[in-house]
Amino acid sequence: MLLVVWIVVAVLAVVVLGSITYTLVGALGRLTGELRRLDGEVRPVLAEVQATLDRAAAQRAAGTPEPAPTAR
- Per-position pLDDT tens, the chain of length 72: 999 999 999 999 999 999 999 999 999 999 999 999 999 999 999 999 999 999 999 999 888 666 677 776
- Which residues, including other chains, have CB under 8 Å from residue 56's CB and lie 6 or more apart? 66
**Residue 62 is assigned to a structural domain of this protein:** no
**Residue 28 is assigned to a structural domain of this protein:** yes
**Residue 70 is assigned to a structural domain of this protein:** no
**Residue 29 is assigned to a structural domain of this protein:** yes
Beta strands in the chain (DSSP E): none
| 45/18 Cα distance (integer angstroms) | 41
Residue span of the structural domain in which 42 resides: 7-53
pLDDT of res. 6: 97
Count of domains for the chain: 1
**Residue 65 is assigned to a structural domain of this protein:** no
What amino acid occupies position 56?
Answer: A
